[in-house]
Structure 1
Amino acid sequence: MKKLLLLSALLLAGSSWTMAQSSQEPPSGMSEIQAYSIYYENYKSESYGSAIDFGRWIWKGMPETIEGYSKFDLERNLQRLITAYGGLAGQAEDPAVAEAYTDTALTIFDKVYKHFGEDLDQFEWAVRKGRFYQRHSDYIDGSTEKAAAEYQKAFEMKPEEFTKMNDGYYVQVLLRHLVSEGEKDEALAMIEKVEPYAPDQLSEYISSARNELFDSPEERITFLEGELEDDPENEELLTQLQDLYEQAGMNDKLSEISQKLYEINPNYENSLALAEAAIGDARYNEAIKYFKEALNKADDSDKKASIALNIANAYLNSDRLQSARQFARTALEHDSEWGKPYIVIADAYAQAVNQCSEGELEVEDRVVYWLVLDYLNRAKSVDSSASNEANNKIQSYASYTPTTEQQFFKNWEDGQSLQVDGSLKSCYSWIGESTTVRR
C-alpha cells in the first residue's frame, strides 16, 4: 500500500486539479487503486478532509471491487466514509457546513441500506445509525427520537446482545427516552425484557427509572404485586416489594414477604429482614432467633458487631439481663472501639437494680450505680459519638449512687474497691464485677 501511495503522489506532482469533483470516478483521471490508497492513508491518520476528496467516488459509484486490490470491502469503506463526514461535522465551525456533512453521512446510510438490503447486518447498522444521531444531534432535527427508533429496532432484533452492549448504555438511552415521553407501559415492558441480562450498572439505572414511572409508592406496589402473581417466587420482585412495604410502614405485609423470601432463600439478608420485622413488632423471641441465624451467616466484623448488639437489645427489652450482657460483649469482641455495647451493659446493670430493689433502694443497690457509671464513662472514652447518650445517662444515674453519709456508716474509703456480686446482694451474683468508691 505504501508503494501505491508513493506512485500516486508522483503521478500527481505538478498537476493542477480541483478536489471538488463529484463524479463516480476517482479524481483527475487516477486509477481506483491509486485514489483508494491515498483515501485510506488519510482516513487512518484522521485527515478526513483529504480522505473524502480521494474517497467520495466510492459512495458515488458504489464499486464492489477494485482491480488489483482483492481486500477491498465496500461496506467497510462506506462505514469509514460515514465516520469521516461525521468527523468533519464535529470540526466545522459553521453550523451550516456541519449540517451539510451530517446530511451527506445520512445519505450514505441510505445508500448502504438500499444497496445491501437483506445481506446487511441490520442489528449492527441500527446501533451504528443510532450512535450517529446521538453524536451529531446539534445538526439533525429530531435526533433523540431518531436515535431511540434505531435502538428500538436493534433491541427487538437481539434483546440480550443489545442489553449487554457498553454495560447497558444503549438500553439506558432508550429507557430515558421512553420515560421522558411518558410511555410507561412501553418502558415497563422493556424493563421486564432486559432485567435477566442487565449488567450491574444498568440494574441500578432500572431501579431509578421505575421510580420515575410511578406517581406514588402505592402505584408501584400495585404494579409489582400484579407482576408477582405471574411469578410468585421471583426474588427480585419480592425484594423490591419488601423495600416498598418497609417505606410505606406496611408491617403486616412486610413480615409476610420477608417470611416468603426466607423460605425461598434463608441467606444472611433474608434472615436479618425477618429479625428486623420481628423486632419492629416487639416479638423479641422471634427476633433473637433470626438475629442469631444472621450472626452466623455474617461475613465481616462490622455486621457481626451490629447484629450482636441487636440481640443484646432484644434480650434487654425482654428482661433477660445476663444474656443482654453476653451479646453486648460479643459485639465488643468484633468492635472494641464502639461505645454502644458499653451503654447496653450499663443499662442492663441499671435494670438489675430495678429488679433487685423493687423500688426500695438500699445502699447495696446504690453501689451498682457506680458500676453503671463506670461503663458509661468507658463508652464515651472509646467512642466520642456515644458521648451525648452516655452523658445524659450519667446525669440520670449519678444521683442514685451512695451518699457521703452512707459511705461513712459503711466505713468505705475513697478509691476502695467493692465487689458487685452475691456478697453484695444475692440477686447481683451473676454480675461478678468490681467498682470503686468515690466521693
Structure 2
Amino acid sequence: MRKITLALLAIGMAFIGTKASAQGKYGADSAECIKYLSYYVEYYKTKNYEEALPNWRKAYSVCPPSARENMLIQGSTLMQKEIAKAKDPALRQARIDTLLTLQDQRAATYPKSKVKALNNKGLYIAQYIKDDNKFIYDELNKIISENQEQTLPNIFLLDLNSAISLFKDDELTAEDVINTYQNAIAMFEKMEQNDDNARAKSDLEGLFIGSKVASCENLISLFTPRLEAAPEDMDLITNIVRMLGSTEGCQNNDLFLQAVTTMHNNQPSSNSAYYLYKLHSAKDNAELAVKYLEEAIASEDIEEASIADYQLELATYCVKKGMNGKAFEAAKKAAELSPANAGKAYYLIGTIWGSTRCSGNEVTSRANYWVAIDYLQKAKAADSSLTEDCNSLIGSYSVYFPQKADAFMYDLSDGQSYTVNCGGMHATTTVRTQK
C-alpha cells in the first residue's frame, strides 16, 4: 500500500512540476496559491498549528513545489505533529508517506537543499518505519546513492541493519550484506575525519562483525573468484585484506596470503613485510618467513627503534628453525643496536653456541661451550634478571669442557686464546678445562 501511495504522489509531483514550469512559480491559480500561502504562514508563525494545517493543505494542493521552499519545510513540521496525533494505523501511514514525499519534492525542486532533504528523509524513515526492512533498505540505498559521502552516518548504520535483517529472512544474500557494508566503509573513508564519524564507523564495523554474516567461509567463497578474475585490482585486494583481516580466524588461508602479498608487492613497507613474515611463519614456510622479516628490517620506512627488536625476533625464529648461523648474526646485531636487548641477545647467542654440534677432536668438538659461557656471562652482566637462567646453563655447559690432559695433547692450556669455527659461526674465546 505504501508503494502505491508513494507512486501516486510521485506522479502528482511530476504533473504539478510540469504545470508549474508552464504556468509560472505559483502555478495555474497563482492568486489562490499566494492567498493560502499567506494564510497558513500567519497561523504557523504564532504556532497555531491547528489552524495552519488546513490552510497549508489548501496551499499545498494549489501551489507547485517551486512556489516556496518553506511550504515543504514547514509542511514537514506539520506532518510530524499530525503523525504524533494519529491513532488509526492507516491514517498514520498516509501522513508518514506525505512527510517522505515532501522530502523528495524538496530534493527535486531545490538542488541546493537536495542533500539535506534526502538526509532528512532517511532520518524520518528511521524514526517512523520499524517493520518494513525491504522498504527501509531500498529507500536508504537510494539516498546513499544520491548523497554518497554526504549521507548522515546513522543512515549507513540503519541501512546495514536492515540488510542484516533481510539476510536473516532469506531476502538478501551474504554477498548483498557484504557489499552494503563495504560501500558504507568506502563512504566513511571519504568523509571528514572527526570523532563523530570515527565513532559511527566503529559502530558500523561492530554491527557487521556481530552479525556474523561474513563468515570466513562466506568471504573466501565470495572473493576467491573475484581475485582470480582481477588479480591486480588494488581496490579489491584492499577490501579482501580489510574483510578477512577483521574476521576472527580468517587470516591463515591462501586467499588472504595472496592479497597481502600483492599489496606488499605494489606498496611495500616494513609493516606489510613484517605481516607477511607472521603469515608465513604461521604456515611454517621458514625460508619465506625469514625473507620477509629481513625485508622489514631493510625497509626505508622502518622506525630505527624497531630494527633491534626485529633482529632479535629474527634470531629467535631462526634458532627454532635450526638456522643457527643466521640466528647468531641477527642476535649480534640486536645487541649492538640496543643495550636494552643486549642481555636477551647474548643469552640467545649463548644457547646457540651451546646447542651447536662441532666436529673434530676432543678440543674442537667441545670448544663451542667456551664461547657459549662467554656470552652467558655477558648476558647476565647486561641484564641481571637473566642471572639465574645464565648460571644454570653455565653449570650445565661447564661439564663438557675438555680434560686438561686432552688440551695438553694439542698444546693448549687454560687461559690461552682460541678461535672457534663451527656451524657457520666463528668467535675468539679462552681455553678452559675441567677442574
Global fold match (TM > 0.5):
yes
Question: Structure 2: which amino acid aligns with 1:186?
Answer: D
Equivalent position of 2:269 in the other structure: 267
Matches within 5 A, 1:223-234: 223-233=222-232, 234=236
Question: Structure 1: which amino acid aligns with 2:121?
Answer: K
Native 8 Å contact 1:130 1:151 kept in 2: no
TM-score (norm 1): 0.60
Native 8 Å contact 1:163 1:198 kept in 2: yes
Of the candidates 295, 300, 303, which is equivalent to residue 300 of structure 1? 303
Question: Structure 2: which amino acid aligns with 1:310?
Answer: E
Equivalent position of 1:324 in the other structure: 330
Native 8 Å contact 2:347 2:390 kept in 1: no
Native 8 Å contact 1:224 1:241 kept in 2: no
Equivalent position of 1:220 in the other structure: 219
Equivalent position of 1:156 in the other structure: 142
Question: Structure 1: which amino acid aligns with 2:323?
Answer: S
1:134 aligned onto 2:126: yes
Uncovered stretches (5+) of structure 1, i.e. residues with no partner: 1-29, 43-49, 90-94, 137-142, 382-386, 407-417, 435-439
SS at match of 1:62: helix
CA distance in 2, matches of 1:298, 1:114: 51
1:73 aligned onto 2:70: yes
CA distance in 1, matches of 2:328, 2:76: 76
- After superposition, the Cα gap between the structure-2 partners of 1:31 and 1:177, relative to the gap in structure 1 and judged at 3 Å, is closer
CA distance in 2, matches of 1:364, 1:272: 33
- After superposition, the Cα gap between the structure-2 partners of 1:358 and 1:324, relative to the gap in structure 1 and judged at 3 Å, is farther
Native 8 Å contact 1:59 1:78 kept in 2: yes
Native 8 Å contact 1:130 1:147 kept in 2: no
SS at match of 1:266: coil
Matches within 5 A, 1:89-100: 89=84
Q: Deviation at 1:268?
A: 3.0
Native 8 Å contact 1:127 1:150 kept in 2: no
Q: Deviation at 1:53?
A: 4.2
1:169 aligned onto 2:154: yes
SS at match of 2:344: helix
- Shifted more, 109-118 versus 269-278: the winner is 109-118
Equivalent position of 1:409 in the other structure: none
CA distance in 2, matches of 1:164, 1:252: 37
1:150-180 alpha-carbon deviations (Å, 9 max, x no partner): 56335236526245423x4312211111112
Of the candidates 298, 304, 309, which is equivalent to residue 312 of structure 2? 309
CA distance in 1, matches of 2:254, 2:104: 62
1:48-67 alpha-carbon deviations (Å, 9 max, x no partner): xx45246334433226999x
Uncovered stretches (5+) of structure 2, i.e. residues with no partner: 1-34, 191-197, 404-413, 431-435
CA distance in 2, matches of 1:196, 1:275: 28
CA distance in 2, matches of 1:207, 1:34: 50
Equivalent position of 1:45 in the other structure: none
Equivalent position of 1:56 in the other structure: 53
Question: Structure 1: which amino acid aligns with 2:57?
Answer: K
Of the candidates 18, 34, 41, which is equivalent to residue 36 of structure 1? 41
CA distance in 2, matches of 1:39, 1:430: 94
1:335-394 alpha-carbon deviations (Å, 9 max, x no partner): x546xx63232121232244477697969945843641551574464xxxxx7xx85565
Native 8 Å contact 2:358 2:368 kept in 1: no
- After superposition, the Cα gap between the structure-2 partners of 1:163 and 1:401, relative to the gap in structure 1 and judged at 3 Å, is same
Native 8 Å contact 1:134 1:144 kept in 2: yes
Equivalent position of 2:163 in the other structure: 178
- After superposition, the Cα gap between the structure-2 partners of 1:249 and 1:129, relative to the gap in structure 1 and judged at 3 Å, is closer
SS at match of 1:232: coil
CA distance in 1, matches of 2:39, 2:335: 84
Matches within 5 A, 1:22-421: 36=41, 39-40=44-45, 50-53=47-50, 55-62=52-59, 73-82=70-79, 89=84, 106=96, 108-109=98-99, 112=102, 119=109, 125=117, 127-136=119-128, 143-146=129-132, 149-150=135-136, 152-156=138-142, 159=145, 161-166=147-152, 168-181=153-166, 182=168, 183-184=172-173, 185-191=175-181, 193-194=183-184, 196-199=186-189, 201=198, 205=204, 209=208, 212=211, 214=213, 216-233=215-232, 234-240=236-242, 243=245, 247=249, 250=252, 256-280=258-282, 284=286, 286-295=288-297, 296-301=299-304, 303-316=306-319, 317-320=322-325, 322-329=328-335, 333=338, 336-337=339-340, 342-355=343-356, 365=369, 368-369=372-373, 371-372=375-376, 374-376=378-380, 378-379=382-383, 381=385, 395-401=392-398
1:198-218 alpha-carbon deviations (Å, 9 max, x no partner): 438577635862674547422
Question: Structure 2: which amino acid aligns with 1:177?
Answer: S
CA distance in 2, matches of 1:113, 1:354: 77
- After superposition, the Cα gap between the structure-2 partners of 1:199 and 1:81, relative to the gap in structure 1 and judged at 3 Å, is farther
- After superposition, the Cα gap between the structure-2 partners of 1:119 and 1:74, relative to the gap in structure 1 and judged at 3 Å, is same
CA distance in 1, matches of 2:358, 2:100: 92
CA distance in 2, matches of 1:306, 1:80: 63
